[in-house]
Chains A and B, each alone.
Chain A
Amino acid sequence: MRSLTNFAPSTFEERGAAVAFTTPVLAQTRARKDSRDQLEVLVPNLSEGRGVYVVPWKSLPLAFPMTVHDRMLHDLIAKADACSPDDIRKAVLEAARCGLAGAGAVSAAEAALKDDEEQRLLINYQLIVEALKAVGLESTEILRVGLTSAEGQKLTRDLMMKAAQRLALEPTELYGRIAELAVLMESIGLASSPKPARLRRLMRDLNGFRDSMTDWATDNVSEAAPIGGFCAEVAEHTVNHARNVIGQLDQAMASFETLLRQWETKRPQIRKASSRLSWLLDGWEYLILLWSDALTQDRHTQAMAVHDIFRVIPLLPKDEGRANQSQMADTLISSHKRSVRAYVDWRSGQLDVDLVMRIETIKGRAA
């Protein structure tokens, strides 16, 4: 038996991607592919000790009673048969839009999809501007007439033809490269973007989480304090890694001409960095919201939230960091074990209505 905190995965794929289930015991458990390329899920030990249940994906509804929302999400992920953070997010938003997790989750999912759409438009425009700038062409005229107008599109086509000529590329090839780059950079955005994209916002929020958790753990005498300190440390390492990755991507975007000319060499690097960033920040959004919600509550609730965060905290895989976070987490297990939480109502043994409601409320705040 291994535990999510003492089991030390070597890669992100081995760690799995967090799934935003609303069933308390399954919230933020991780999905991954097994050696036979079949989906499976890692559920942390129910007694908060060492060990993890590795459950085949298709058996999950048999092993744990799930909410209707989770059954739908389970089906969607099974149908997609993919478990990267982006695949999981797509399924999570689709399930939330149905209304099975409440009206708040519907609004949040719709807002997130709208934001994705806006970012897609924005990054496309910005990349075209960058491409024109890279070959010394002026793009302000496009902005004046509007990118989406017929005149604007004609102007863009003409300018892009010129840009392709200067780069010694076929226009379709240039368009293809920019379209692919837009897909890769959609969730990250450009450093110059007027509205930071999702992962940049998440990194900023994680930074805030780190500061807030450090403040909370300092001068705190509760048993949760060292666990809070550890969570802040994991957040710090993650932010540092994420900052490096974003730095690399921003650097690549700053030399846009080189990027377009050396596309075959640079494309895998951009793809890898973009994927690595979404893996690095995967699972943090829920934890950040959980913590910000706990900060408005009393100290005991805050200590319980720290234990909840520790239970599913996304530790960096061994290949990513020099420090072995799993070993560090192992030393805290004895304190964590004392906060065993009943994930069901003690009176009836059924799903705890209040816990599910809390998870749904947090889901409603994610956008």
Chain B
Amino acid sequence: MEMRDLVALGDKLLDIDEAKFRQVVDLLERMNDHPDILRTIAVIRPRLIELRLNRRPTLKRLFCDPFEDLFEALGKADPVPLSVIERALMNSLWPLVEAEIGKERLRAFRPALQYGPERKALSEAFWTECAAAVSKIAEGAISGHYSDALELRMNPDRTRALADIATILSIAPDVIELKAALSPKPVPKLHADHMEAIQTIGRRISRARPAALKIFVLLAASRLTDPSVLLSGLWDMDLGQKPADRASLFMSLSGTVVAQIEERSRAWQTAAGGDRMAVADLALHLVASLDATRAAMEHSRNKEFDRRLKDIRSSVHAMVNTQVLQDADAGIVAAIGALDGGSDGRAQLVRAENHARALRKCATIADSLGLRGELREMTRKTTVTLTEKAQQALAGPAGNPRTGYTAIRMIELIAGPAEANKIMDGIMSGGRR
């Protein structure tokens, strides 16, 4: 079977029934780490995650266990880790680690894959050896050069990722404890027990391997729905550092969080396209992250971050203004006119409904973005035009009731049911229903 067929098979695997899917995954796992198989697995990974299949335990999977939270996000809605490790890098790295440790030695670690009394000790020993192996491999990979061993060009991100993997593996038992405390992933809100666990484990790492503390905090953040949530808790957390180190760690994490928000705010220009609801959802999430980050940074009062956060807020402001507010009335009212225009009219109506919903959603962040006046004016203007349309259609002698009711529905989507009910009652009390 050719690679192309395998990738095509991956697409089909997303639609077949669950029982068959499980069988095929089992078969794929029995085959070796062939690049074609890896490619197929990559295609079906979202479904693997969704079904939470208990995949066959392997040493490679055990190797990845401590740092898997930093793998690139698969779905658009998945939280993006603050420090990303490419799956491709890990796939190239593992054979080198295997070769470094040696087959005989690796065989001795196999019982770590089964439940048993020696599992914990063996896993920890395995990670220690892996950490040493990765450190050694990392030494040979020079940033900016092509690595023959890894078959990858070593850009600064990959060099940093290799060092991160080595560091994480060296504190693997602590990371496993953290994963257990912050479960199930993603954690939407940090509770007292979560904070206590992060603090206890963090203090332990701070004493034993202070250099690993930052990546540990990034790992903790990667298990949250919104990594910026950790910022607010981090300032009050005593991780056993000196005040200067603590401030430096906080600034470093803040910088990473801000960079991530910047990245997300830039993504809308390419990703959101014409979907107004997607724009509104993105704006809502960005404003929530901005507010959480801004509140947490009250302690640091860093002008550079303040400026960057302001820039992001301006970018979200522009996004909402151009994608949601501008010409909203024209699009929505035009769709009412095209109501009887067949299927195309219906598609236009659905788009207009989404635009109206997006307007309503943005009402919750308009204050924060300084768009309150513009939004209120647009809502008023559109509502007045729609009310006229509804009046003509429902109270007039030759009106089309469907057009009238659709205009009322649009008012409801934009201004809420209370306003729409009031207008409807006004029209009905003076005419027919």
Contact = CB atoms under 8 A, between A and B. Distances in A.
The finding on whether chains A and B are genuine partners in a shared complex, rather than unrelated, reads: yes
Interface of A: 23, 65-69, 71, 75, 98-103, 106, 215, 298-299, 345, 347-348, 350-351, 353, 357
Contact of A68 (B346, B360, B420): B420
B155 interface: no
B364 A102 contact: no
B4 to A, nearest CB: 27
Given A67-B412, A298-B50, A99 B421 contact: no
The listed residue with most B CB atoms (<10 A of its CB), out of A75, A98, A103, is A103
28 contacts: A65-B417, A65-B418, A66-B421, A68-B412, A68-B420, A68-B421, A68-B424, A71-B421, A71-B424, A99-B402, A99-B405, A99-B409, A100-B409, A100-B412, A101-B409, A102-B409, A103-B349, A103-B353, A106-B402, A298-B50, A299-B50, A299-B52, A347-B364, A351-B416, A351-B417, A353-B361, A353-B413, A357-B357
B138 interface: no
A357 B350 CA distance: 12
Contacts of A75: 433
Interface SS majority for chain B: helix
Contact of B405 (A66, A67, A100, A347): A100
Contacts of A67: 412, 417
Contacts of B401: 98
Contacts of B52: 299
B293 interface: no
A350 B52 CA distance: 35
B217 interface: no
Contacts of A350: 416
Interface residues of B, number: 28
A183 B356 CA distance: 43
B89 interface: no
B165 interface: no
A71 B413 CA distance: 15
B417 A68 contact: yes
A348 B413 CA distance: 15
A99 B357 contact: no
Nearest to B417: A67
A98 B432 CA distance: 14
Interface string B210-237: 0000000000000000000000000000
A350 to B, nearest CB: 6
A353 B417 CA distance: 11
Nearest to A75: B433
B162 interface: no
B94 to A, nearest CB: 28
Contact of B353 (A98, A102, A106): A102
B378 interface: no
A340 to B, nearest CB: 14
A66 to B, nearest CB: 6
A23 B418 CA distance: 13
Nearest to B353: A102
A280 B7 CA distance: 47
Given A299-B50, A345-B364, A347-B364, A99 B406 contact: yes
A298 B416 CA distance: 30
Interface in B44-60: 50-52
A357 B50 CA distance: 24
B421 A353 contact: no
Contacts of A103: 346, 349-350, 353
Nearest to B288: A347
B13 interface: no
Contacts of A357: 357
Contacts of A66: 417, 421
B395 interface: no
B420 A353 contact: no
A341 to B, nearest CB: 14
B324 interface: no
Contacts of B408: 68, 100
A215 B360 CA distance: 39
Interface string B338-381: 00000000100110010001001101100000000000000000
B360 A353 contact: yes
Nearest to A71: B421
B367 to A, nearest CB: 11
A100 B363 CA distance: 22
Nearest to B356: A353
A98 B360 contact: no
Nearest to A215: B18
Given A69-B409, A98-B401, A99-B402, 20 more contacts: A23-B417, A66-B421, A67-B412, A67-B417, A68-B417, A68-B424, A71-B424, A98-B402, A99-B405, A100-B408, A103-B346, A103-B349, A103-B353, A106-B402, A299-B52, A347-B364, A348-B364, A350-B416, A351-B417, A353-B360
A235 B225 CA distance: 35
Contacts of A348: 363-364
A101 B416 CA distance: 14
Contacts of B350: 103
- The 5 A-B pairs of least Cβ separation, nearest first, read A347-B364, A98-B405, A99-B405, A99-B406, A68-B420
A71 B433 CA distance: 12
Contacts of A65: 417-418
Contacts of B421: 66, 68, 71
